[in-house]
Structure 1
Amino acid sequence: MTDLYLNLIAQGAIYALVLFSIITWILIFTKGVQHWRLARHNRTFSKQFWSASSLDAAAALTEIASPKSRLASVGFNALFVNEGGSVSHDLEHSWDRQELLERHLRQQIQKEYQSLESGLAVLASIGSTAPFVGLFGTVFGIIHALSAIGKNASASIDVVAGPIGEALVATGVGIAVAVPAVLAYNFYVRRLKVTAADLDNYATDFVNLAQKNGFRVARNSARSTQTKVQGIASIEGAFA
């Protein structure tokens, strides 16, 4: 294998690591903005929801782009009934209303989890493979150094300094790329678990509130109470 190919392989490994690093930092920034926005919107919606005077009033809240808001929207859609009390008899409505509500909430939580989980597999892959890509470049850098020694019949510093230096740079770059990816992956997995637990708790509270309301929310009643977002009594008092 010629020196040209050895150089190309070693440099290719470094270029691949640079690409991995760019992807890693893009994902770190993107996921950071995503979690920050969702946390802020969740707090806003939670404040509005728990300040509503009744479950019907909460159903009329303006939907906010947050996991809790989407979860509540799915729950209310499962609870909505017509004022006349007509009941559909298709397969969708053949479930017990509590089971239907729990199933819809569980499916929505899974969708939210999958949305927040996107990109984490890439961070995990980069964190686990970057050191090996760096070692791959290191191996060919050492081979280049040995080839230079054989050609020059000398192991002087002038002969081996360049190839060995490239080899060490590849190892260092591999580690430098892997560390942020692993740290970011662990951080966002922790955030994902906290968010999933928060959604589970909210879904449990929602089911309990729906049970107190007879698993019914009148669609027309919800529209008429759209302006009554806040009331004297809080929904939290339903648990008292």
Structure 2
Amino acid sequence: MLQETTNAPAAAPGGDAAAALSQMGADHLINEMVTNPGQHVVQWVVSLTLILMSVMAIYWIVVNLLKNMNLRRRGDSVVSTFWETTNAQDAIRYMEEQPSSEPFSKIALDAAQAAAHHQQHEGSRLVESLNRSEFVDRALRQAVTRESMRLESGLTVLASIGATAPFVGLLGTVVGIYGALIRLGAGGQASIDAVAGPVGEALIMTAFGLFVAIPAVLGYNFFVRLNRITNNKFDTFAHDLHDFFATGARVGEVQVKR
């Protein structure tokens, strides 16, 4: 009597590979971090640090973007209105009406106050040590420096995030690779099942670090370029103000009565 033999269907090798590769997704990493927080302390620290960096970068990008948009929208109008006003007192009064965040008006007011202060102390030791031109020039330099520093608010944070975020993500990468090696040593053989999860964590942390760093670097370079243009406008305006308050007229204009 012939014994019938049946061949059981072999397990598809692609099934195990597909199941292992599914452990490399972000959803698997989040699930592991939530269900086993004690085993993923480093991943928690890295993730929270990168989230905090991302929030700070977005905040300073938005703040500087709005600040530069407002400055470009109002700056040229403020400067042109100041020079188009024939009476100097009316021009100064117009500058006093500008909001505290408007830098060109603050530079003009500092120059006007310096000129008025020097004029009020004619015959004193102050006038003997510094003439009108030097006194106004010093006030303008201080004003331009102050407003330039205000433009740079948040840029140090963006530069720091852009420089350090990839390395913070790299810390999670090192931990993930280390976990993969531990699993390989415990299992005694190299298999996709042993390394899929840790390698997936490593790749996700690397990508997360780059995701945080790239916008910060781009934002920093963008605002540095805008600030350079604005600082040039500050210098040009300050030179014209120096001529105006030192001599009573801009270069190329007739002297006006102040």
Which TM-score applies when normalising by structure 2? 0.76
2:45 to 4, 7, 12: 12
Q: Quick check: 1:200 aligned with 2:242?
A: no
Q: Quick check: 1:153 aligned with 2:188?
A: yes
How much does 1:88 deviate? 6.4
Larger radius of gyration: 2
Distance 1:56 1:17, change over 3 A: same
Q: Secondary structure at the match of 2:64?
A: helix
| Superposition pairs of residues 37-116 of structure 1, within 5 angstroms | 37-63=70-96, 64-65=98-99, 66-80=102-116, 87=122, 89=124, 91=126, 94-116=129-151
How much does 1:44 deviate? 2.6
Deviations 1:56-86 (A, max 9, x none): 4322324213111000000110112699x76
How much does 1:34 deviate? 1.2
Check conservation: 1:123, 1:185, Cα contact below 8 A. yes
Question: CA RMSD, aligned part only?
Answer: 2.6
Check conservation: 1:10, 1:138, Cα contact below 8 A. no
In the other structure, the counterpart of 1:33 is 66
Structure ranking higher on relative contact order (CA contacts 8 Å, 6+ apart): 1
What amino acid sits opposite 1:52 in the alignment?
Answer: T
Which TM-score applies when normalising by structure 1? 0.81
Equivalent pairs counted in the alignment come to 217
Distance 1:47 1:81, change over 3 A: same
2:221 to 170, 186, 198: 186
Partners in 2 of 1:35 and 1:120 — Cα distance?
Answer: 13
Point out where structure 2 has 5 or more consecutive residues left out of the alignment.
Answer: 1-35
Deviations 1:178-228 (A, max 9, x none): 1100000001111111111100000111112223328xxxxxxxxxxxxxx
Point out where structure 1 has 5 or more consecutive residues left out of the alignment.
Answer: 215-234
Distance 1:94 1:143, change over 3 A: same
Task: Name which of structure 1's ranges 173-182 and 146-155 shifts more when overlaid on structure 2.
Answer: 146-155
Give the share of equivalent positions with the same residue, in percent: 36
Check conservation: 1:131, 1:171, Cα contact below 8 A. yes
Deviations 1:78-131 (A, max 9, x none): 112699x76362548842110000000000111001111111011001101111
Task: Name which of structure 1's ranges 87-96 and 29-38 shifts more when overlaid on structure 2.
Answer: 87-96
